[in-house]
């Protein structure tokens, strides 16, 4: 990155590089300067640098460089000099537009030059082969090679400028101008895709403006100037959308204008509203929304009649006729007949949205179809006075179609009126914002309405009619078209009719079970049967007959009523279940369709992304190769020019040399040229130094002589001016003396007047001083009283606060004491409960030990021989474990020797004692390891305290260990 001491040096360096053909290096040098943080203070030189920078960007079609540079320049001059940024941006757009137009003119000239008879004389074989293979004409290829790159760059320029200028209050006028120029670009060259993107960009800018409300320098939409600029931009967008026939984008533009008006809560100018409703009529007519089209025409008529003072009677009559014909073009039947609940809700939301766009105040308590309907529209036309302004032909047509009943002659009387109406229309002279009004566009809809009215009136008079006769009655259409119209009328319950092609006739009226003709059939049959029965069996006693009929009538009526209610509820439930089932099926179908569409779109997006990345890589690789080849050619040309200028031999093997070698050669040549130039400059400086010194030596005596002459002239002039000043002073002094003598006689009167004024002012001053002192004393006393009251109040408040604080502290201390006492009592109670529980557990353990001792005693008693004396009270002592074990073993052996039965556990215990008797260790303890098996019963070391075993011996623990080992 090159650094420059001053911005002027960078500009000079860029110009030098441009002169030698290195535009890319010049652009990079200026880009480094603009993006550097050293030059953030605006100066006039930076503006000239930006002009040169954008010229290079346009010349080389570097949109990214231009965007970066303009963003940095906006940061530099936004708070200092915004007009400089405007000038740079205007210059940038002007250069881009000129280059695009120049490329277009070159392509046109190339097309004219190639438009010759003999193609082989002007084209190469390669071009002919390419044209035959690709199928492109000369204009297509020239546009692709010359015009398309520059138009892409111009479109990128508009996008860059709009992105830089967005949401900035200081640049909103330039933003609006750029948007208008971009719209005109799309209109001039029929760029529909770019127009959609441009509308989306502007829409996103407004959304971001509402989203980030704390942004610095944010435009204020409540300001009249800002609001007018935004509205003008969107109105222009609406115009261009309708001119390009992008009706969906036009409708979105209408929504943008309406959203902007709703956001600001302010109604725009009537001139803008006229354009708004004029375009709205075109959009609704193209979308075949005849009802909304008629309402838009009504609003347009109201605005023109109220605000257009130059509106002529002829133009007013033409607009009113358009309003009435648009209202008559609406279908006379309700299209919501037979629709589901979901469709009705969607239609209601759509009516609300359209009504808000047309700016109608809806009553929320009424249904939208009752408000926006054909009947309400016709009533509105009568109340607004539209019927008084229409032409006579349109008025006659209205009365024929809406108020007359002529089943056979309706079409024949309407046809001449339609012929006259089709010739009316033209451009309005006093309403420039309204498009050209042609009443002929309503003729097909009026013919369809005439057909429907004729079918409706004929169905009320005839039950059947020949198809041939009906075709003669309706001369507008063939019978196939009439049949299609009648199908829609029957579908929406406007006419009840059937076409029987076998009999070549039309049947009017419904013949279904639910029709009006057969709904009373059963009732009539019952009445007839009752009359016949009464004639066959006449009634003898009317009173008894009446009594028989009335007997149980209330019960029958009640049962029938309940049955009908049950049937009605069942039917309603079945209808609801059917509707719910249909809704679920619709949701599932919609979900499957959306999933399939989403998968298809994802696959397509992935394929497009892959294809785009592959093409982008190929394009970048091709551009790099082309740029390398172009740079090599530029270097070769520059090297050849420099060599010819210096009389040197140019390079002949440029195609074999690499770019690095060429750059090194050019750098060496530049260094040599710079050294030669420095030598020439040194020689020229020395020559100029000698010349300057010689000139100064020669002009020194001449300057001294001129100076002395100038001193003499100045001295003479000074003396003359001094004499003139003395004479003027004398004259002024004499005049002043005369004036003094004249005014001296008034000196006494002046003294008297002065004394009177001074005494009066002194009295006034003393009075005011006294009043001020009294006021100050009163104010001091009052403030003293206030301070005393405030001090007492503060003392009272402080004492109250201390008292309350003391009471609060005492209360808290009391609560803490109670809490501590409660915790202490709880701890004592818990300790008592623990002691009781411990005693209870101790008692249970003692009982359990006693039970175990009792069981051991019983077992030992049964194992001893009968001849051996036993002590039932004391039992074996713990101090004699070995003797007891030996006795038990001897007893077992004796029993076994004598043939007496001994239990198995006794025999095993005796054998274990004989096999391994415990030996005391060196510390006097016996082995207390557990045996390989244990008995079910286990003795404890506790002994009862009664009898001879009242005290425990020190050897009880070892005795207990030995007894555990034995057991």
Q: Is residue 440's pLDDT more than 60?
A: yes
Counting every residue, how long is the chain? 967
> Around Cβ 730, how many Cβ atoms within 10 Å?
9
Quick one: CA dihedral 529, 531, 535, 537, positive or negative?
positive
User: How large is the average pLDDT for residues 941-958?
Assistant: 40
* 528 within a domain of the structure (yes/no): yes
Three-state DSSP at 903 gives coil
Q: Using H for helix, E for strand and C for coil, what is the string for 231-288?
A: HHHHHHHHHHHHHCCCHHHHHHHHHHHHHHHHHHCCCCCHHHHHHHHHHHHHHHHHCC
326: part of which helix (H) or strand (E)? Answer: helix 313-328
Q: What pLDDT, on the 0 to 100 scale, is given for residue 962?
A: 40
Share of residues in the chain with pLDDT > 90 (%): 14
Does residue 912 register a pLDDT over 60? no
Cα within 13 Å of Cα(744), Cβ side: 6
pLDDT score of 526: 81
104/202: higher pLDDT: 202
Name residues whose C-beta falls within 8 Å of residue 393's C-beta, 6 or more positions apart in sequence: 417, 420, 421, 424
Which segment of 7-16, 123-132, 742-751, 901-910 scores lowest on mean pLDDT?
Answer: 123-132
Is residue 921 situated within a structural domain? no
Taking each helix axis as running N to C, give the angle between helix 82-114 and helix 44-60, from 0 to 180 degrees, rounded to the nearest 10: 20
Q: Which of 356-360, 534-538, 566-570 has the highest mean pLDDT?
A: 566-570
Which of the two residues, 610 and 266, has the higher pLDDT score? 610
Q: Report pLDDT for 717.
A: 92
Domain coverage including residue 479: 440-534
Q: How far apart are CA 824 and CA 590, in angstroms?
A: 74
Q: The sheet that has 497-500: what strands, in order across it? A: 464-466, 505-508, 497-500
Q: Is 423 in a helix, a strand, or coil?
A: coil
Residue 163 CA to residue 379 CA, distance in Å, equals 50
CB distance 98 to 58 below 8 Å: no
The alpha carbon torsion through 512, 516, 520, 522 (nearest 10 deg) reads 0
Q: Report the SS3 class of residue 505.
A: strand
How confident is the model at residue 894, as a pLDDT?
46
CA–CA dist 471, 221 (Å, integer): 61
Backbone Cα Rg of the chain: 59
Higher pLDDT, 211 or 405: 405
Mean pLDDT, residues 49-53 taken together? 82
Residue 649 region, left (φ>0) first, then alpha (ψ -120 to 50), else beta? beta
pLDDT value at position 120? 39
Residue 762 has pLDDT above 50, yes or no: yes
State the Cα angle at 759 between 754 and 760, rounded to 5°. 100
Cβ 410 vs Cβ 458: under 8 Å: no
Q: Which of the four pLDDT bands, split at 50, 70 and 90, describes residue 824?
A: very high
- Give the number of domains in the chain: 1
Q: Residue 496 gets which letter from DSSP?
A: -
Mean pLDDT of 277-298: 84
**Which range (51-65, 406-420, 862-876) has the least confidence?**
862-876
Q: Does the CA dihedral 427-428-429-435 come out positive or negative?
A: negative
CA angle at 237 for the pair 291 and 87, rounded to the nearest 5°: 165
pLDDT at 11 over 50: yes
Task: Provide the pLDDT for residue 769.
Answer: 94
C-beta of residue 42 within 8 angstroms of C-beta of residue 80:
yes
Instruction: Using the predicted structure, report yes or no on whether residue 702 has a pLDDT greater than 80.
Output: yes
Sign of CA dihedral 516, 519, 523, 526: positive
Q: Which residues contact 632 (CB under 8 A, 6 or more apart)?
A: 654, 659, 662
- Considering Cα of 705, then 706, then 710, then 712, what sign does the dihedral take? positive
Residue identified by tokens 């309700």 is 334
Dihedral over alpha carbons 810, 815, 819, 824 (to 10 degrees): 40
Provide mean pLDDT across the span 336-362.
65
- The 3-class secondary structure across 755-805, one letter per residue, is HHHHHHHHHHHHHHHHHHHHHHHHHHHHHHHHHHHHHHHHHHHHHHHHHHH
β-bridge partners, 296: none
* Alpha carbons 893 and 890: distance in angstroms, whole number: 5
Q: Is 6 helix (H, G, I), strand (E, B) or coil?
A: coil
- pLDDT tier at 1, thresholds 50, 70, 90: very low
Q: In whole numbers, what is the pLDDT of the chain averaged over residues? A: 76
Residue 513: give its domain's CATH number. 1.10.10.10
d(CA 263, CA 261): 5
pLDDT of 875 above 70: no
Do 358 and 421 form a contact (C-beta atoms < 8 A)? no
Strand partners, 465: 506
Instruction: Judge whether 73 lies within some domain.
Output: no
Q: Over the stretch 469-484, which tens digit does the pLDDT of each residue have?
A: 888 888 888 888 888 8
Give the range among 22-31, 257-266, 305-314, 957-966 with minimum mean pLDDT: 957-966
Sign of CA dihedral 776, 781, 785, 790: positive
Residue 525 is encoded by which pair of tokens? 């049959």
Residue 118 belongs to some domain of the structure: no
Residue 467 lies inside a defined structural domain of this protein = yes
CB 7 within 8 A of CB 39: yes
Say if residue 883's pLDDT is above 60. no
182-196, 553-567, 751-765, 884-898: segment of lowest average pLDDT: 884-898
CA atoms of 747 and 754, how far apart (whole Å): 11
- Please report whether residue 296 resides in a domain: no
Contacts of 421 (CB under 8 A, 6+ apart): 321, 325, 393, 394, 397, 439, 440, 442, 443, 446
- Rounded to whole angstroms, the maximal C-alpha distance in the chain is 187
Q: Where does 646-746 have alpha helices with state H? A: 659-743
Q: What is the mean pLDDT of residues 581-607?
A: 87
Is 181 inside any structural domain?
no
Q: 118-157 pLDDT, tens per residue?
A: 433 444 554 544 454 444 444 455 555 567 788 888 888 8
Q: Report residue 447 CA to chain centroid gap.
A: 47
Q: Residue 872: what are its φ and ψ, rounded to 5°?
A: -70, -15
Element (H, E) at 117: none
- Show the tokens assigned to 628: 């390398």
Higher per-residue pLDDT: 130 or 220: 220
pLDDT at 115: 43
* Buried b or exposed e, range 479-509, using 16+ CB within 10 angstroms: eeebeebbeebbebebbbbebeeeeebbbbb
- CA 587 from centroid of its chain's CA atoms: 27
Check whether 872 has a pLDDT greater than 60.
no
Instruction: Give a yes or no: residue 592 inside a domain.
Output: no
Kindly state the average pLDDT of the residues 175-184. Answer: 88
Region of 736 please: left (phi>0), alpha (psi -120 to 50) or beta. alpha
Among residues 280, 284, 282, 283, the alpha carbon closest in space to that of 272 is found at 280
pLDDT band at 311 (very low <50, low <70, confident <90, very high): confident
Local confidence band at 537 (pLDDT 50, 70, 90 cut-offs): confident
Is the separation of the CB atoms in 435 and 383 below 8 Å?
no
Between 14 and 453, whose confidence is greater?
453
pLDDT mean over 221-242 = 84
Q: What's the pLDDT band for 80 if we cut at 50, 70, 90? A: confident
């Amino acid at each position: 990155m090159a650094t420059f001491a001053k911005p002027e040096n960078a500009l000079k360096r860029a110009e030098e590089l441009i002169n030698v053909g290195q535009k890319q290096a010049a652009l990079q040098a200026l880009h480094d300067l603009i993006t550097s943080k050293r030059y953030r203070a605006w100066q006039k030189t930076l503006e000239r640098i930006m002009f040169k920078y954008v010229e290079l960007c346009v010349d080389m079609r570097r949109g990214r460089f231009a965007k970066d540079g303009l963003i940095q320049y906006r940061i530099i001059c936004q708070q200092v000099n915004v007009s400089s940024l405007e000038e740079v941006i205007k210059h940038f757009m002007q250069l881009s537009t000129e280059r695009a137009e120049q490329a277009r003119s070159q392509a046109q000239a190339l097309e004219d030059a190639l438009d010759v008879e003999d193609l082989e004389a002007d084209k190469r074989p390669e071009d002919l082969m390419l044209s035959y293979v690709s199928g492109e004409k000369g204009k297509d290829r020239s546009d692709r090679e010359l015009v398309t790159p520059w138009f892409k760059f111009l479109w990128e320029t508009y996008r860059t400028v709009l992105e830089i200028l967005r949401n900035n209050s200081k640049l909103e006028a330039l933003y609006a101008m750029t948007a208008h120029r971009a719209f005109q670009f799309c209109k001039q060259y029929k760029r529909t895709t770019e127009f959609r993107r441009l509308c989306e960009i502007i829409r996103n800018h407004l959304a971001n403006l509402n989203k980030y409300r704390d942004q610095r320098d944010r435009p204020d939409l409540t300001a009249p100037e800002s609001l007018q600029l935004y509205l003008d931009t969107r109105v222009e967008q609406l115009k261009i959308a309708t001119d390009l026939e992008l009706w969906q984008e036009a409708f979105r533009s209408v929504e943008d204008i309406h959203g902007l008006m709703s956001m600001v809560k302010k109604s725009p100018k009537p001139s803008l509203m006229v354009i708004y409703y004029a375009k709205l009529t075109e959009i609704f007519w193209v979308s075949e929304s005849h009802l909304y089209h008629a309402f838009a025409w009504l609003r347009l008529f109201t605005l023109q009649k109220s605000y257009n003072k130059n509106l002529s009677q002829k133009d007013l009559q033409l607009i009113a006729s358009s309003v009435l014909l648009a209202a008559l073009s609406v279908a006379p039947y309700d299209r919501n007949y037979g629709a589901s609940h979901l469709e009705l809700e969607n239609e209601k939301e759509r009516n609300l949205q359209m009504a808000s766009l047309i700016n109608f105040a809806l009553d929320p308590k009424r249904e939208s179809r009752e408000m926006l309907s054909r009947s309400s529209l016709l009533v509105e036309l009568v109340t607004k006075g539209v019927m008084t302004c229409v032409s006579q032909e349109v008025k006659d047509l209205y009365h024929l179609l809406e108020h007359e009943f002529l089943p056979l002659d309706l079409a024949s009387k309407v046809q001449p009126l339609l012929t006259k109406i089709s010739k009316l229309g033209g451009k309005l002279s006093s309403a420039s914002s309204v498009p050209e009004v042609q009443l002929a566009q309503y003729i097909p809809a009026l013919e369809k309405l005439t057909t429907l009215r004729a079918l409706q009136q004929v169905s009320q008079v005839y039950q059947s009619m020949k198809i041939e006769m009906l075709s003669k009655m309706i001369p507008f259409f063939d019978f196939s078209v009439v049949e299609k119209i009648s199908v829609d009328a029957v579908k929406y319950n406007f006419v009840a009719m059937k076409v029987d092609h076998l009999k070549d006739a039309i049947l009017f009226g419904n013949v279904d079970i639910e029709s009006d003709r057969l709904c009373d059939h059963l009732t009539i049959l019952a009445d007839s049967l009752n009359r016949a029965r009464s004639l066959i069996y006449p009634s003898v006693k009317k009173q008894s007959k009446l009594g028989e009929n009335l007997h149980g009538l209330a019960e029958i009526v009640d049962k029938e009523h309940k049955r009908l209610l049950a049937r009605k509820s069942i039917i309603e439930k079945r209808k609801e279940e059917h509707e719910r089932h249909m809704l679920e099926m619709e949701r599932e179908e919609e979900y499957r369709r959306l999933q399939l569409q989403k998968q298809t779109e994802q696959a397509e997006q992935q394929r497009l992304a892959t294809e785009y990345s592959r093409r982008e890589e190929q394009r970048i690789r091709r551009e790099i190769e082309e740029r390398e080849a172009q740079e090599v050619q530029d270097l070769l040309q520059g090297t050849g020019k420099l060599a010819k200028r210096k009389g040197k031999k140019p390079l002949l093997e440029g195609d074999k040399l690499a770019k690095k070698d060429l750059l090194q050669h050019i750098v060496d040549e530049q260094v040599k040229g710079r050294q030669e130039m420095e030598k020439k400059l040194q020689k020229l400086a020395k020559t100029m130094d000698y010349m300057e010194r010689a000139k100064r030596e020669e002009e020194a005596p001449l300057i001294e002589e001129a100076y002395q002459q100038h001193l003499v002239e100045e001295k003479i002039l000074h003396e003359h001016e001094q004499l003139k000043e003395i004479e003027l002073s004398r004259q002024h002094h004499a005049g002043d003396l005369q004036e003094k003598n004249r005014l001296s006689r008034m000196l006494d009167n002046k003294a008297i007047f002065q004394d009177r004024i001074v005494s009066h002012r002194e009295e006034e001053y003393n009075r005011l001083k006294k009043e001020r002192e009294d006021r100050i004393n009163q104010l001091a006393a009052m403030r003293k009283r206030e301070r005393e009251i405030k001090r007492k109040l503060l003392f009272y408040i402080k004492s109250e606060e201390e008292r309350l604080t003391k009471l609060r502290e005492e209360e808290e201390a009391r609560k803490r004491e109670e809490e501590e006492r409660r915790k202490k009592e709880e701890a004592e109670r818990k300790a008592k409960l623990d002691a009781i529980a411990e005693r209870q557990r101790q008692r249970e353990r003692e009982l359990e030990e006693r039970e175990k001792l009792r069981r051991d005693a019983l077992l030992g008693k049964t194992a001893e021989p009968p001849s051996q004396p036993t002590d039932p009270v004391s039992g074996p002592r713990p101090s004699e474990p070995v003797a007891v074990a030996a006795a038990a073993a001897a007893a077992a052996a004796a029993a076994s020797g004598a043939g007496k039965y001994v239990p198995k556990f006794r025999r095993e215990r005796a054998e274990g004692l004989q096999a391994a008797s415990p030996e005391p260790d060196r510390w006097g303890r016996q082995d207390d390891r557990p045996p390989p098996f244990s008995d079910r019963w286990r003795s404890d070391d506790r002994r009862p305290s009664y009898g001879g075993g009242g005290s425990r011996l020190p050897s009880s623990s070892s005795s207990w260990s030995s007894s555990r080992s034995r057991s």
